[in-house]
């Protein structure tokens, strides 16, 4: 399912230039564009460090392996029918990781669902007229269990028309690779943000404060306002939301979000406006945030409560059309009072 990323704002005290109160540390910041969005990487080090070359290198290898927007990338060649592509370790890791979460979410996280999303008119391609026969036909192209890796590290698809799209996990994975690069340089305090998804380690030692990030209010139309602030300490954060794609029932005035169920192939009404997930790594947070948007609320609440490695914050509309919030206890503990 394609979702729309809920914007994350890093608060002024952590992102913008500041006077260095602690002269023992240097604040390095790298900003730019990558993966179809913007990024900001702040690192606090004893001496000034130039990390741009290493950052560019991480984005380059991720794009070459996983970007559906680059015709010559491995995934684009595979999607176009090239069966000779030998995928790299990065591709293998993302595929294995996706299969694991696909299973844990009972199929609600599925990087092959794009064909259905487009057919229903929620993607970039032209909408088609749908009926049960067309849905059954399209379901032949959906299901991550229909994609395997052979002994020669080549992708094997049960149907050649299956289209792989790791966009719902690749950005989180790229952030994790950036974090691994900073860890390898023994950098102990940093904040990585790419398109609203983040990984934080340590704290802002110049200000002697924890990294603090703000989560947007999903009901603000035409403007941005912070819903809540949280401390992000040695955790990853990702958000998804369909909040700007909701529809209003003409009779009741209630807001609903339509999503595509990757299992049945049909659209379903969802009351979930936005989901934010905290996890140990950003690929996990990224994938689960997407899956929770595709589930109904009861399924999402059940899975969140069963998975001890996840913390979550969900903004939804109840049966009376009233906006409500749900937070796990672990998430509540990091909210700035």
Q: Read off the pLDDT of residues 20-40 as tens digits, 9 standing for 90 and up.
A: 455 589 999 999 999 999 999
Q: Return the pLDDT at 294.
A: 87
Number of Cβ within 10 Å of residue 330's Cβ equals: 14
- What is the pLDDT confidence band of residue 221, given thresholds at 50, 70 and 90? low
What are the percentages of helix, strand and coil residues in the chain, rounded to 5? 30, 30, 40
Helix axis angle, 89-104 relative to 52-66, nearest 10°? 70
Within-domain flag for 2: no
Nearest partner of 197 among 3, 4, 7, 1, judged by Cα:
7
pTM over 0.85: yes
pLDDT score recorded for residue 327: 96
- Over range 64-75, report the average pLDDT: 94
Q: Report if residue 34 sits inside a domain.
A: no
DSSP assigned state of 80: T
Q: Is residue 174 part of a domain?
A: no
Total number of domains in the chain: 1
pLDDT, position 1 = 40
Phi, psi for 43 (deg, rounded to 5): -135, 140
The alpha-carbon radius of gyration of the chain (Å, integer) is 20
Q: Find the domain containing 86 and state its range.
A: 58-168
Residue 30, beta-bridge partner list: 41
Which pLDDT band, with edges at 50, 70 and 90, does 266 fall under? confident
Structure tokens at 137: 């036909």
pLDDT at 331 over 90: yes
Residue with tokens 């401390």: 231
Nearest to 172 by CA among 269, 37, 76: 37
What is the spatial distance between Cα 8 and Cα 40, in angstroms, rounded to a whole number? 12
CB atoms within 10 A of CB 73: 19
pLDDT score for 85: 98
| CA-closest candidate to residue 176, choices 99, 66, 79 | 66
The pLDDT of residue 310 is: 97
Encode 100-110: b = buried (16+ Cβ within 10 Å), e = exposed.
Answer: ebbebbebbbb
Domain-embedded: residue 19: no
Please give the structure tokens belonging to residue 4.
């729309």
CATH number of the domain encompassing residue 142: 1.10.3980.10
Instruction: Dump pLDDT digits (tens) for 307-322.
Output: 999 999 999 988 888 8
CA distance 56 to 35: 11
Report which secondary-structure segment, H or E, holds 299.
helix 297-306
Place of tokens 């997930």: 277
Count of CA atoms in the C-beta half-sphere (13 A) of 9:
14
- Among 10-14, 78-82, 135-139, the least confident range: 10-14
Distance between CA atoms of 264 and 296, rounded to whole angstroms? Answer: 13
Query: Is 71 within the bounds of a domain?
Result: yes
Find the mean pLDDT for residues 15-19: 40
Average pLDDT, the chain: 87
- Asked, for residue 69, whether it belongs to a domain, the answer is yes
Q: Which pair of structure tokens corresponds to residue 220?
A: 């603000």
- Give whichever of 5-19, 22-36, 192-206 has the largest mean pLDDT: 192-206
pLDDT at 257 over 50: yes
Question: How far is it, in rounded angstroms, from Cα 330 to Cα 314?
Answer: 13
Query: 72-81, 221-230, 327-336: which has the minimum mean pLDDT?
Result: 221-230
Q: How far is CA 80 from the centre of its chain?
A: 25
Position 183 in a domain = no
Token pair in block for residue 119: 């057919």
CA 34 to chain centre: 15
Q: How far is residue 39's CA from residue 177's CA, in Å, rounded to a whole number?
A: 14
């Amino acid at each position: 399912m394609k979702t729309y990323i809920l914007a994350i704002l890093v608060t002024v005290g952590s992102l913008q230039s500041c006077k260095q109160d602690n002269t023992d540390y240097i604040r390095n910041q790298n900003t730019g564009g990558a993966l179809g969005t913007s990024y900001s990487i702040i690192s606090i080090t004893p001496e000034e460090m130039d990390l741009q070359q290493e950052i560019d290198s991480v984005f380059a290898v991720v794009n070459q392996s996983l970007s559906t927007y680059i015709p010559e990338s491995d995934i684009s060649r595979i999607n176009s029918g090239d069966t000779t592509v030998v995928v790299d370790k990065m591709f293998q890791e993302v595929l294995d990781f996706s299969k694991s979460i696909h299973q844990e979410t009972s199929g609600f996280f599925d990087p092959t669902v794009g064909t259905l999303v487009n057919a229903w008119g929620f993607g970039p391609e032209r909408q088609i007229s749908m009926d049960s026969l067309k849905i059954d036909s399209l379901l032949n192209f959906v299901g991550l269990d229909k994609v395997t890796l052979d002994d020669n590290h080549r992708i094997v698809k049960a149907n050649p028309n299956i289209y792989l799209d790791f966009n719902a996990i690749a950005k989180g994975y790229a952030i994790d690779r950036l974090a691994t690069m900073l860890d390898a340089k023994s950098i102990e305090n940093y904040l990585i943000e790419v398109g609203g998804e983040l990984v934080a380690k340590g704290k802002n030692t110049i200000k002697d404060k924890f990294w603090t990030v703000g989560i947007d209010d999903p009901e603000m139309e035409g403007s941005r306002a912070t819903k809540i602030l949280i401390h992000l300490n040695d955790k990853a954060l990702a958000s998804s939301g369909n909040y700007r794609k909701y529809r209003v029932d003409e009779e009741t005035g209630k807001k609903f979000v339509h999503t595509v169920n990757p299992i049945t192939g049909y659209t379903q009404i969802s009351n979930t406006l936005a989901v934010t997930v905290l996890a140990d790594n950003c690929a996990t947070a990224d994938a689960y945030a997407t899956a929770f948007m595709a589930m109904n609320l009861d399924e999402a609440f059940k899975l969140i409560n069963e998975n001890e490695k996840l913390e979550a914050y969900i903004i939804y509309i109840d049966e009376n059309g009233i906006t409500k919030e749900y937070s796990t206890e672990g998430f509540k503990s990091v909210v700035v009072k």
